[in-house]
Structure 1
Amino acid sequence: MKPISERERESKSENLDEFSQNLEQNFTQNNPQNSTKLLSIVVPCYNEELVLDEFYKVTLGVLKQIQNEILSNLEYEFVFVDDGSRDNTAEKIKELHEKDSAVHLVKFSRNFGKEAAILAGFKQARGDMVVLMDADLQDPPSLISEMVKSYLDGYKIVYSKRKDRVGEGYVKSKFSEAFYQIFNRISGVKIESGVRDYRLMDKSVVAELLKMNEYHRFSKSMFAWVGFKKKCLEFDHEPRVAGETSWSFKKLFNYAVEGFVSFSTAPLRFAFIIGFLVSAFAFIYGAYVILRTLIFGVNLSGWASTIVIILFLGGIQLIVLGVIGEYIARIYEQVKNRPHFIIEEII
């Protein structure tokens, strides 16, 4: 038997070490429980001074529980985005940062809206998992545990949905249901009624969302549009801990219009159909009047009916122009290429 030289022995030892390292690396990659995972909590804030302490306390407790029971190597960060609050929201977040370096603040120069705050939070988040939630505790932090479990089972998006609309006003509830029904009929992207922005997403999903650079963003549809393997978690309605909601009926209506225009061209098609039908009706009625006059010699005065028809046609034209104007306005704002937000301070 030929003896093995010292050089050959060292070479085989190095190959064995390399094989062991590759095996350990593959095992770690295929078993998320054995690798360090960073969880980013993105929280858009607008006048949330009264709830931030309680939100941080409750959410931190859930994260500690996840570390103890589900994912021992979990690390976390809080990304609070102050959307131009008029109270002491930013100062309260700074106080939390002094206690916990995992708390980060992104402060806007003014109020740019929740969609801009979500986008800024995604851009600052560094986590393997990103959780988007509100600070008012209507999104129960306890659900994060189930989200992380589902993530470890292979789901890229774990979103939440309210079981019912208890706590909402009757009119608001009915308008919300009508919005979802109409939206799902005219759009190629389907949204479940009662779905919240509250969700956990893999970093690959967030990366795809950041590639969508449209100025007018409608996150609910964007979350559905990107695809990926999803799971829904239902929860009971929770009242606000403190403060009042900033979502008025007017803001919700504008948000609904944003959704219709951003993810569907159906309003333009509908305007065309209305215009075609009205034109066809006017042509048929005009032919009827001419024939009746020629055959029977009846000269219709019809002053009142003429005024009604003119007003009706004028109203239809204004509606059609309004629909076209909504799309043109979005093109105009998109081509200006202004930033979605301006950051005044980052901690």
Structure 2
Amino acid sequence: MKYSLVIPIYNEEKNLPELYRRISTIMNNMDGDAELILINDGSRDRSLQIFREFREKDSRVCYLSFARNFGHQIAVTAGLNFARGKVIVVLDGDLQDPPELIPSLIEKWRQGYQVVYAQRIKRHQESWLKKFPAFVYYRVLRSLADVEIPTDTGDFCLMDKSVVDLLNKMPETNRYIRGLRAWIGFRQTAVKFEREPRFAGEIQYTFAKSLALAINGLVSFSKVPLRLSTYVGLFAACVSLLMACLVLYWRIFYPESPLTGLAIIMMTIFFLGAVQLVSIGILGEYIGRIYEEVKGRPLYTLSEAVGFGERNKSL
């Protein structure tokens, strides 16, 4: 097998026929054998049934079905675990990642790059409420992370088998694929593209899921938030000392001032309480990840795996 196309799916029944049509056209024109790996991430619609229909008419289609919803990053991980190609391409199933870009990614691989990521230069039909936070987040992450994570990139990428083998050896539970991809290293480059609007259906990656992924990426690849809580604590201590001096000054020289009463005390209590809660929250994010890692549970459970030969029997 030369090429593996990995696509995580969650409630995408309206997109699957068009996705398969466009992907199969790309696969027909490839210079070697290819497999299409679809991962059903606990979909509640007909996605799994459509997988089975694809498999009946095209033996290149392989699919995995989770026993429940485990999340996008885990679905990508499962696809990488089962991929058999020398070249693995990861893309989303909503057709915002255009399959027609795959030949350009492969061309960069032929030039000697082990990782080729698709970099968004424009997002069509997305509001500024989504574009601006994403723009800021990627740049904050890049400045704070321990490794250089490219800006405006998602999971749409091509990876050499050697890179995927290393990814598969990483036992992390809270996975941020684009960060792990950058951490591994090797020769990496970008192919720029304009992100298309969603082909059909409703957005599955809600704001809450996007926020959780953003926090996961920041906490997984940076210790700066821990240091930040320390710096904020020192700042709060300095402010408290300054306020104590001011209150003492006002009490001696301006005893009738309202600033020496209950108002200033309440302001100080609320400020220090907020600092403490934020610091505890940051610490909790890191402790929570330690807790998840030490449990040692498998990343996912499969209810069905079709098209992988002997590996099907290992379930």
- Superposed counterparts of 1:182-261, under 5 Å: 182-261=140-219
TM, length-normalised to structure 2: 0.91
Q: Which residue of the partner structure matches residue 43 of structure 1?
A: 7
Q: What is the Cα deviation at residue 290 of structure 1?
A: 4.7
Q: Is the 8 A contact 1:84 1:112 kept in 2?
A: yes
1:342 aligns with 2:306: no
Q: Is the 8 A contact 1:167 1:237 kept in 2?
A: no
The CA distance in 2 between the partners of 1:86 and 1:148, in whole Å, is 34
Aligned-partner residue type, residue 238 of structure 2 = A
Deviates more, 1:310-319 or 1:297-306: 297-306
Deviates more, 1:318-327 or 1:143-152: 143-152
The CA distance in 2 between the partners of 1:177 and 1:242, in whole Å, is 25
Q: Is the 8 A contact 1:38 1:76 kept in 2?
A: yes
Change (3 A) 1:296 1:163: closer
Report the secondary structure of 2:204's partner residue: coil
Match of 1:262 among 198, 209, 220: 220
Q: Which residue of the partner structure matches residue 54 of structure 1?
A: 18
Q: Which residue of the partner structure matches residue 311 of structure 2?
A: none
Match of 2:269 among 303, 310, 317: 310
Q: Which residue of the partner structure matches residue 28 of structure 2?
A: 64
The CA distance in 2 between the partners of 1:117 and 1:192, in whole Å, is 22
Q: What is the Cα deviation at residue 263 of structure 1?
A: 0.9
Identity %: 38
Q: Is the 8 A contact 1:165 1:194 kept in 2?
A: no
The CA distance in 2 between the partners of 1:49 and 1:194, in whole Å, is 27
1:274 aligns with 2:232: yes
- Superposed counterparts of 1:73-84, under 5 Å: 74-84=32-42
Q: Which residue of the partner structure matches residue 17 of structure 1?
A: none
Aligned-partner residue type, residue 263 of structure 2 = A
The CA distance in 2 between the partners of 1:163 and 1:154, in whole Å, is 24
Report the secondary structure of 2:272's partner residue: helix
Unpaired runs of at least 5, structure 1: 1-36
Q: Is the 8 A contact 1:164 1:194 kept in 2?
A: no
Match of 2:99 among 141, 151, 162: 141
Higher Rg of the two aligned structures: 1
TM, length-normalised to structure 1: 0.83
Q: What is the Cα deviation at residue 292 of structure 1?
A: 6.9
Report the secondary structure of 1:236's partner residue: strand
Root mean square deviation, CA, Å? 1.8
The CA distance in 2 between the partners of 1:245 and 1:189, in whole Å, is 30
The CA distance in 2 between the partners of 1:132 and 1:174, in whole Å, is 25
Aligned residues: 304
